[in-house]
Amino acid sequence: MNVVAFNGSARKDGNTAILLNAVLEEVRKEGIDAEPVQLAGTALQGCIACYKCFENKNKRCAVEKDEMNSYIEKMLGADGILLGSPTYFSDVSANIKALIERCGMVARANEDMLRRKVGAAVVAVRRAGATHVFSSLNYFFLIGQMIVPGSSYWNLGIGREPGEVRNDNEGMQTMANLGKNMAWLIRKLNS
């Protein structure tokens, strides 16, 4: 069993990474493998609406010029998928949006190929917009017939400079509880 966690922040070791790691720490404690994936440094293009994925039906995006298909493969091989995004102008980062558009379209073209995998969103924010980001990330899971565990609050942590999110005790606890619930759910689904 394994969980793959995509960090959509432009900062590899920033607050989103810290929040995701707090979730993964709990997942690992339950004996589930966890792989963090940094989108920083890769420029992902959005969907170009070519609809070739509906013709090819090969679980791949027809645009092969970036890393998207390796991310899709990681999702296909995982029991659980975490999407982490900072709040940028009250919305998800551009890289996470590209991941959602292209992976989401490939999934729809291939009979909801991620259905019944466990999915959860994680959001870093300085001040405002996090619940909007949280919603945007969850639309990806819910349209694809994925199963979304909850936590003790919406999955967000507050901080501006890298590391500040550690001072948000409730946010960090929310991540730990999310990790426990995610692991519990993955174990149930695999039993």
Ligand X SMILES: Cc1cc2nc3c(=O)[nH]c(=O)nc-3n(C[C@H](O)[C@H](O)[C@H](O)COP(=O)(O)O)c2cc1C
- State the residues that interact with ligand X by CB under 6 A: 9, 11, 14-16, 86-90, 124-129, 159-160, 162
Q: What angle do CA 73, 77, 83 make, to 5 degrees?
A: 75
- The residue whose Cβ lies closest to ligand X is 14
Provide the minimum distance between the beta carbon of 22 and ligand X in the complex, in angstroms, as a whole number.
13
Residue 8 · residue 78 · CB < 8 Å? no
**Closest to ligand X by CB, 14 or 144:** 14
Q: Please, which residue, 149 or 159, has the CB nearer to ligand X?
A: 159
Element housing 174 (H / E): helix 169-190
- What is the smallest separation between the CB atom of 36 and ligand X, expressed in angstroms? 12
13, HSE (Cβ side, Cα atoms, 13 Å): 1
- Report whether 94 contacts 18 (CB < 8 A): no
* Backbone region of residue 120 per phi and psi (left: phi > 0; alpha: psi in -120 to 50; beta: other values): beta
Instruction: Report the nearest approach of ligand X to the CB of residue 102 (Å).
Output: 22
Q: Which is nearer to ligand X, 79 or 168 (CB)?
A: 168
Q: 46-65: b or e for each residue (b if 16 or more CB lie within 10 Å)?
A: ebeeeebbeeeeebbbbbee
Query: Minimum Å distance from CB 89 to ligand X?
Result: 5
Q: How far is the CB of 61 from ligand X (least distance, A)?
A: 25
Rounded-to-integer distance, Cα 43 and Cα 103, Å: 15
